[in-house]
Amino acid sequence: MCPPSKYGDAVKVSLMGTRGVPALHGGFETAVEEIGRRLAERGYDVTVYCRNPGQQRTEYLGMTLVNAPALRHRMTETLSHTAVSTVHAIIKDRPDVVLLLNAGNAPLLRPLQLAGIPTAIHLDGLESKREKWRGTGARYYRWAERASVRWGDEVIADSQAIADHVKAEYGRDSVVIRYGADIINPGSERIAELSLERQSYHLIVARFEPENHVLDAVSAYQMSTEGRPLVVVGSAPYSHGYIDAVRAAAQDDPRIMFTGGIYDQQLLDELYANARTYIHGHSVGGTNPSLLRAMGAGAPVLAYDVEFNREVTDGQAFFWASAPELTALFDQSAGDGLDARLIELATSGQARIATAYQWDTVADEYEVLIQGLAARSKGKASRP
């Protein structure tokens, strides 16, 4: 049996609201895997609710997996899956604490609370500002954000900028717990599969969505004099019009390589680690895992100029706010004028990850949160 946590008795904790583990898709899933396995190693009874289609696995890295169904539609998939997960948690799993990820799952806070299960909800950036949720979806996410802040026993923000937003809009303090990342130096053998060489290309890794500014970045590069290729990794299941616009902006430029989504983690790590620059256009999230991964791999960052990206990089990046500004950076990169600064950014990015974004520290902070929620629940239960 694992020893109890250094913070007190280990508890039964369930994580829900994501696609679950093994982490195949994005930042939330990676966070669940990294945090969940560390909690399990420390003696916690960890359950993760998953919606990986066809998955038969029921245990992974010490975590119990519950594979629950979902209605496969952009507007219903997450909420329907979390509703089934909530019923299972209330009736069968009976956790001491739930960590609920994604403000869109706010309606499930009330059933969990009525069942006496303290719940912390993690806000995933400014969801209502994402283009895919415009109209009815945006109105729902604005409501869900308010409901999350009102009903959550604790509200988790993954950046200080998100916590500042919550405080300004709703007057409530958040628990700031960032994501983590690894320092990686994976070599360069695999990038030859894409006919690439070390420091010979620029890299974008992003879902093709307007708030990630992939169109601006591709347009900026296409207008530049840079001869090194631009490698664009990613896709989007519900953004066919935007994908078409991005490809049209490339104008069949032979310098631009579209790879689609890459889920081979070793290859992806090598792409980050060997890029001349990593172009990060995300604008509405908090702490973005792709940005952390690039920094951990030593990729110099050209980041869209918003408070989230300045916070994560601690200002150690080139910042751009328009396609012409990014074109100018590409043009400078075509020569050797940026070389010294790019080396500095590679070093400072890895140093930032090593000091501010380590998974062990993140797990420590989640332990404090979980123990506090569990103690609060026990205190209520013991009252006459």
pLDDT digits (tens, 9 = 90+) for 62-117: 999 999 999 877 668 999 999 999 999 999 999 999 999 999 999 999 999 999 99
Continuous H helices in 240-338? 240-250, 265-274, 289-296, 307-313, 323-334
Residue 235 is predicted with a pLDDT of: 85
Q: 218 pLDDT exceeds 90?
A: yes
Residue 334 is predicted with a pLDDT of: 94
Q: 384 pLDDT exceeds 50?
A: no
Residue 376 is predicted with a pLDDT of: 79
CB of 281 closer than 8 Å to CB of 121: no
Confidence of residue 127 (pLDDT cuts 50, 70, 90): low
Q: Which residue has the tokens 């074109």?
A: 327
Residue ranges covered by each domain of the chain: 12-180+358-376, 190-356
CA dist 328 and 335 (Å) reads 12
CA dist 214 and 297 (Å) reads 21
- Range among 40-44, 134-138, 139-143 rated most confident: 40-44
CB of 359 closer than 8 Å to CB of 35: yes
Name the burial class of residue 361, with classes exposed (0-12), middle (13-18) and buried (19+) by CB atoms within 10 angstroms of its CB. middle
Per CATH, domain 190-356 is 3.40.50.2000: yes
Residue-averaged pLDDT of the chain: 92
Q: Which element (helix H / strand E) includes 97?
A: strand 97-101
Q: Which element (helix H / strand E) includes 359?
A: helix 359-382
CA distances from 77 to 68, 73, 74, 84, 212 (A): 11, 5, 6, 11, 22
pLDDT per position as a tens digit, 259-269? 999 989 999 99
Give the CATH fold of the 12-180+358-376 domain.
Rossmann fold (3.40.50)
Better-scored residue on pLDDT, 298 or 10:
298
CB of 281 closer than 8 Å to CB of 289: no
23-35 mean pLDDT: 86
CB of 343 closer than 8 Å to CB of 333: no
pLDDT per position as a tens digit, 137-159? 789 889 999 999 999 999 999 99
pLDDT per position as a tens digit, 288-346? 999 999 999 999 999 999 999 999 999 999 999 999 999 999 999 998 889 999 999 99
Do the domains spanning 12-180+358-376 and 190-356 agree at the CATH topology level?
yes
Residue 41 is predicted with a pLDDT of: 96
Residue 97 is predicted with a pLDDT of: 98
What would the DSSP string read from start to end of 217-235?
Answer: HHHHHHTS---S-EEEE--
Confidence (pTM): 0.91
CA dist 78 and 110 (Å) reads 17
What would the DSSP string read from start to end of 174-210?
Answer: -EE-----------SSGGGGGT--TTS-EEEE--S-G
What lies within 8 Å, CB to CB, of 289 at 6+ separation is 26, 27, 30, 31, 179, 181
Residue 2 is predicted with a pLDDT of: 46
Residue 336 is predicted with a pLDDT of: 85
CA dist 98 and 156 (Å) reads 12
DSSP one-letter code for 317: S
Q: 3 pLDDT exceeds 60?
A: no
Reply yes or no: is the peptide bond before residue 22 cis, omega within 30 of 0: yes
Q: Where does residue 256 fall: left (phi above 0), alpha (psi -120 to 50 degrees), or beta otherwise?
A: beta
Residue type, 355: T
203-224 mean pLDDT: 96
User: Which residue, 297, 307, 282, 289, is CA-closest to 354?
Assistant: 297
Residue 383 is predicted with a pLDDT of: 39
Local structure of 102: helix, strand or coil: coil
pLDDT per position as a tens digit, 238-288? 678 899 999 999 999 999 999 999 989 999 999 999 999 999 999 988 899
Instruction: Work out whether the CA dihedral 202, 206, 210, 212 comes out positive or negative.
Output: negative
User: Which residue, 82, 90, 33, is CA-closest to 57?
Assistant: 33
